[in-house]
Amino acid sequence: MAKLQIREALRRALREEMLRDESVFLMGEEVAHYNGAYKVSQGLLDEFGEDRVVDTPIAEGGFAGLGVGAAMAGMRPVIEFMTFNFSLVAYDQVINSAAKVFQMSGGQYKVPIVFRGANGAAENLGSQHSTSVDSIYAHFPGLKVVTYCDAHDAYGLLKSAIRDDNPVVFLESELTYGVKGEVPDHEFLIPLGQAKIRREGTDVTLVTWGKQVMMVEAAAAQLAEQGISAEVIDLRSIRPLDQDTLFSSVAKTGHCVIVQEGYPFAGIAAELAARVQEACFDWLDAPVLRVCNRDVNQPYAPNLEKLVMPSPPRVIAAVHRVLGRDVAQDNALDLPQQGA
């Protein structure tokens, strides 16, 4: 069992798939000679050469389109966006081409492509580098949307994404590339569409994904000290969605709080809340609550950025509210104190 940084786990998965299948190649900004903006691709150019580790200009629409065409021709491209905020420049290629070609061709063309890169807020990067694109891409049929919270899942999910015959949006995080975790020495795959129960509980179901899992686990630990047993579900895959794990947990606990890094309006949390209340109405003892980013563009100032993002105090306040235990903490949901 090796202890790897998340960037190392991603690199190992990518390298193994490139060794296994010559149709796999990596393309994006600074992936080759610079070894990747976040050093995920370090050393791959030396091993595989410029035909399979391809530096591109700052032209996301161009190299995303090249990747889609290569996938239609039988290759398995891995397209790295330096940040998924920049993927919006390639939105037409991802949505109108990659997501729709299989259906529009009557199944004649598959598009086995992975779009990967950093998603969401890092630290003090301002609005144009801090957007969570989860709900933007999950909205469209034809795309799979996947993320992880640790090195183990980063490795197993990326390998599955590369082998999938559908376009996969693979969301990473600048803040977690250096986080270490145990990864088995042997090869393994994690099926897309399989959630993971990170913590067993009986009083409330906490649902989240990506780097917010670590924050929610910290909130659950604090809740345990208050005598509240929280079950933490890491979706891992937003599309396809593991509804069975989610619904089974809510049926057990009777309460649900969904934590999303991203805007509340038309977000993933809103979709999940609707599905839970439709499917689990008879088991719910209170309405489903959401903890999301404030509905504002991401500020640059560190103190304001903390106020905008989900945090343990906001999650704990939502749990107290959904359990009807301490309505006085409602202020922590809407008007958190500085540093919350």
Do 30 and 55 form a contact (C-beta atoms < 8 A)? Answer: yes
Residue 129 among the catalytic residues: yes
Cβ-in-10-Å burial (0-12, 13-18, 19+) of 271 comes to middle
Burial 162-178 (b: 16+ CB within 10 A, else e): bbbebbbbbbbbbebbe
Residue 186 among the catalytic residues: no
Looking only at the bridges linking them, the beta strands covering 230-234 and 196-199 are: antiparallel
Three-state DSSP state, 147: strand
Distance in angstroms between the alpha carbons of the first and the last residue of the chain? 36
Q: Which of 129, 152, 255, 320 is catalytic?
A: 129
CA dihedral 13, 121, 309, 295 (to 10 degrees): -120
Question: What would you report as the CA-atom Rg of the chain, rounded to the nearest whole angstrom?
Answer: 20
Tokens 């801090």, located at residue: 130
Q: Which of 8, 17, 60, 80 is catalytic?
A: 60
Looking only at the bridges linking them, the beta strands covering 24-28 and 53-55 are: parallel
Backbone angles phi, psi at 275, to 5 degrees: -65, -40
Amino acid at 292: C
* CA distances in angstroms from 48 to 10, 22, 32, 250, listed in the order given: 16, 10, 10, 47
Q: Which residues are catalytic?
A: 60, 129
